[in-house]
Amino acid sequence: MEFTTLGRTGLRVSRMGLGCGGHSRLGLSFGRTDEEAADVVRAALDVGVNFIDTAENYRTETAVGLGIGGVPRDSVVISTKVAAADADGLVSAADYRSRVEGCLTRLGTDYIDVMNVHGVTPDEYDWARDELVPVLLRMREEGKVRSLGITEQFITDTSHVMLRRALAEDDLWDVVMVGYSVLNFSAERTVMPLVRERGCGTQLMFAVRRALSRPAALIELMENLVATGQVDSGSFDAAEPLKFMGVDMAGAAYRFARHESGMDVVLSGTSSLEHLKANAASICAGPLSSDIVERVRSIFARVDSASGN
């Protein structure tokens, strides 16, 4: 495994982070038990991953707690999240605090390395900054939270409206989580310059999502990108749009994200030990050939409306 420093947190983190959300949720989405899901966490530690991203609403924190139970606490970096709003509306400061305490309990730890406000929409940003950040700063003083993070709602905010504002206006965030992939690398132009100015650490999500792990979903997405004028129809093979990247589309997509984005941690979520090992190998493989990278860049240069979900 390769390691880097997570921006101004100073934490040493593996280039691959285990994502415990997404469609698989460590296998809990397919009926696995917490103990079985914890085996995915243990397997990640075995391949050298030390960065684990979970969230209150993934319901995978208990499995993460079980999975890290056998290793020294300071050998892993835990990122978790609580959203600024739920089905009842915006979460109050008091409720937010008790939810973060709930994360600590489920994870079986007395501190969280990166505590993120989860999936913040542009409309929720003021609330997150004015009402919830003070809670997290107090918890940081108490030693329960080590650094503050924010994650975007990439499925609906594919052009990073919230994150661009958060980084341009405020110097509160130690770590940001941003969507980036072969299909939409617009964060490079719009988010990364601000990240560098602030010295934030970065977590990359959506390197491989539905459209990059299921061929039918990719074809449907490409039709849509052509119809909306973001991709030229003659620039790719309609039957196998990313065939030129090789037979292992997911592996190639992870390599693109790892080497082209300049971000610290590439998150990879899975229910499969086979995928886990393959993804660790891809993230640690060298860059793709310049021919492949140039072709990707020319096909998707104008795209900022796709998440690949």
Ligand X SMILES: NC(=O)c1ccc[n+]([C@@H]2O[C@H](COP(=O)([O-])OP(=O)(O)OC[C@H]3O[C@@H](n4cnc5c(N)ncnc54)[C@H](OP(=O)(O)O)[C@@H]3O)[C@@H](O)[C@H]2O)c1
Cite the active site residues. Answer: 58
Smallest distance from the beta carbon of 56 to ligand X, in angstroms?
11
Smallest distance from the beta carbon of 209 to ligand X, in angstroms?
4
Q: Which residues bind ligand X (CB under 6 A)?
A: 19-24, 53, 81, 118-119, 151, 153-154, 177, 205-209, 213, 250, 267-272, 275, 278-279
Smallest distance from the beta carbon of 234 to ligand X, in angstroms?
28
CB-closest chain residue to ligand X:
22
Between 52 and 135, CB nearer to ligand X: 52
Sign for the CA dihedral angle at 230, 234, 239, 241 comes to negative
Between 172 and 226, CB nearer to ligand X: 172
Between 206 and 236, CB nearer to ligand X: 206
Number of neighbours of residue 23 by Cβ within 10 angstroms: 13
Between 90 and 155, CB nearer to ligand X: 155
Nearest to 97 by CA among 131, 66, 120, 126: 131
16 secondary structure, DSSP code: E
Residues 109, 113, 118, 123: what is their CA dihedral angle, to the nearest 10 degrees?
130
Residue type, 101: E
What are φ and ψ of residue 50, in 5° steps? -120, 0
Smallest distance from the beta carbon of 125 to ligand X, in angstroms?
14
Q: Are 184 and 160 in contact (CB under 8 A)?
A: no
Alpha-carbon distance of 104 to 106, in angstroms, equals 6
Nearest to 62 by CA among 54, 73, 70: 54
287 secondary structure, DSSP code: P
Smallest distance from the beta carbon of 194 to ligand X, in angstroms?
18
Between 18 and 222, CB nearer to ligand X: 18
Number of neighbours of residue 45 by Cβ within 10 angstroms: 18
Q: Are 191 and 167 in contact (CB under 8 A)?
A: yes
